[in-house]
């Protein structure tokens, strides 16, 4: 069987060999394939701000452009972390746009620890607002506990706790995909639950 370096993004079965940042690139492709299999016409919007320890993520996204395009995945770097987070938050408001061509948009934000700090206001408001039922959002934070490439050591847990955002801790490259898909499912389940709770209220007002 022929083996290609492109298998890390193209292969849909069997093992693939990739780095951690490449696994993060593969993640939205896998979710888009799952959505297509369930008859959903969804897309993905990715934005963030470059910096260690996620400094190579945006570079891998640029290199994988032809694969992203096939799955309706748009990568647009932010001018800074909080503007990128605000743009991702906006991707969950698709239902407010008349004539929307997608059933939902998955949003991915990435940044290092200080970017988590400066995006706190957006995280709190976006988390309170929730996601769309066929969208969902993941915030991918890279912490530098030993201050190897940052001005100060950083740990994002407390900032995410303050914003009431659930956290997942992958322990391997393999779990980048598994827990990433789980995180997306968690945000979608929450959105579906919120919609079902609000529907009786709308019915009573209509009556």
Q: 91: part of which helix (H) or strand (E)?
A: none
The order of strands in the sheet holding 137-142 is: 73-75, 42-48, 104-112, 137-142
At 193 the pLDDT is: 62
Give the model's confidence band at 1: pLDDT under 50 very low, under 70 low, under 90 confident, else very high: low
- Residue 95 is classified by DSSP as G
- What is the spatial distance between Cα 177 and Cα 172, in angstroms, rounded to a whole number? 9
Q: Compute the average pLDDT of residues 132-153.
A: 89
Q: pLDDT tens digits for 62-119?
A: 999 999 999 999 999 999 999 999 999 999 998 888 888 999 999 999 998 889 999 9
What's the pLDDT score for residue 153?
A: 87
Work out the pLDDT band at 206, boundaries 50, 70, 90: very low
Q: What is the pLDDT of residues 155-183, one digit of tens each?
A: 999 999 999 999 999 999 999 999 999 99
DSSP state of 97: S
> Rounded to whole angstroms, how far apart are CA atoms 159 and 118?
10
pLDDT at 191: 73
pLDDT bracket for residue 200 (50, 70, 90): very low
Round to whole Å and give the CA distance between 129 and 146.
34
Q: Report the Cα 32 to chain-centroid distance in Å.
A: 12
Whether the pLDDT of residue 49 is over 70: the answer is: yes
Burial tier of 80 (Cβ tally within 10 Å: 0-12, 13-18, 19+): middle
The pLDDT, as a whole number, for residue 196 is 53
pLDDT at position 184: 96
Q: What is the average pLDDT across 19-44? A: 96
Local confidence band at 195 (pLDDT 50, 70, 90 cut-offs) = low
pLDDT at 154: 86
pLDDT for 3: 80
Question: Using the 8-state DSSP alphabet, how is residue 9 labeled?
Answer: H
Percent share of the chain, pLDDT over 70: 91
Per the listing, tokens 């898909």 go with 181
**Using CA of residue 145, residue 146, residue 150, residue 153, what is the dihedral sign?**
positive
- List, in order of start, the domains of the chain with CATH numbers: 19-143+152-206 (3.40.50.970)
Torsions phi, psi for 104 (to 5 deg): 180, 165
């Amino acid at each position: 069987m022929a083996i290609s370096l492109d298998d890390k993004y193209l292969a849909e079965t069997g093992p693939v060999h990739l780095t951690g940042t490449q696994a993060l690139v593969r993640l939205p492709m896998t979710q888009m394939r799952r959505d297509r299999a369930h008859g959903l016409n969804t897309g993905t919007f990715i934005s963030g701000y470059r910096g260690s320890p996620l400094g190579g993520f945006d570079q891998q996204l640029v290199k994988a452009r032809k694969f992203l395009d096939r799955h309706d995945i748009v990568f647009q770097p932010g001018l800074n972390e909080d503007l990128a987070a605000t743009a991702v938050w906006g991707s969950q408001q698709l239902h407010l746009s008349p004539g929307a061509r997608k059933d939902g948009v998955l949003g991915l934000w990435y940044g290092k620890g200080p970017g988590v700090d400066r995006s706190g206001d957006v995280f709190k408001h976006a988390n309170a607002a929730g996601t769309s039922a066929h969208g969902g959002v993941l915030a991918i934070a890279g912490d530098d506990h030993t201050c190897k490439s940052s001005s100060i050591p950083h740990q994002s847990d407390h900032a995410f706790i303050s914003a009431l955002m659930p956290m997942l801790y992958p322990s391997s490259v393999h779990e980048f995909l598994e827990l990433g898909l789980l995180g997306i499912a968690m945000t979608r389940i929450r959105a579906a639950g919120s919609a079902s709770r609000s529907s009786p209220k709308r019915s009573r007002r209509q009556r």
